[in-house]
Amino acid sequence: MKNRQLGSLFLVSVIDILGFGILIPLVPYMAHRFGASPTVITAIFGSYSLCQFLAAPLWGRLSDRYGRRPILISSLAGACASYLVLGVADSLAWLFVSRIIGGVMAGNIAAAFAYASDVSPPEKRAASLGMVGAAIGIGFTLGPAIGGVLAGNDLEHASFLLPALVSASLSVCAIGLVALWLPESNTRERRRQWRPGGASPLRLLQQRPALRAIATAALLVTSSQAILESIFAIWALNRFGFGPRTVGLLMFCLACLAVLMQGGGVRVLVPRLGEARLAISGVLAYALGLAAVALAPSLAITGLGLALCGIGVGSFNPSASSLASQQADTNDRGTVMGTYQSSGSLARVIGPFVSGPVYSALGHGAPFVLGACVALPAIWFVWRANSHATVRSLPD
DSSP letters spanning 325-343? HTT--TTSHHHHHHHHHHH
Q: Which of 155, 140, 168, 160 is nearest to 78 (CA)?
A: 168
- pLDDT score of 3: 67
For the chain of 396 residues, list the mean pLDDT of each consecutive stretch of 10: 74 85 85 88 87 79 83 91 92 92 82 80 74 77 84 76 92 90 74 57 76 89 90 84 81 78 74 84 92 83 86 86 75 71 80 91 90 93 78 44
> Is 192 inside a domain boundary?
no
Note whether 186 and 193 are within 8 A (CB): no
pTM: predicted TM-score of the whole model, two decimal places: 0.73
- Residue 192 to residues 19, 116, 123, 264, 386: CA-CA distances in angstroms? 35, 20, 26, 36, 31
- pLDDT score of 334: 66
- pLDDT score of 283: 93
> Is 95 inside a domain boundary?
yes
> Is 191 inside a domain boundary?
no
DSSP letters spanning 59-95? HHHHHHHH-HHHHHHHHHHHHHHHHHHHHT--SHHHH
Note whether 44 and 97 are within 8 A (CB): no
Number of domains in the chain: 1
- Residue 114 to residues 47, 119, 121, 327: CA-CA distances in angstroms? 25, 9, 13, 12
> Is 194 inside a domain boundary?
no
Q: Name the packing angle between helices 68-87 and 38-66 (round to 10°).
A: 150
> Is 189 inside a domain boundary?
no
> Is 193 inside a domain boundary?
no
> Is 190 inside a domain boundary?
no
> Is 14 inside a domain boundary?
yes
Helix (H) or strand (E) holding 164: helix 161-181
**141 lies in which domain range?**
2-183+199-393
Q: What CATH number is given to the structural domain containing 281?
A: 1.20.1250.20
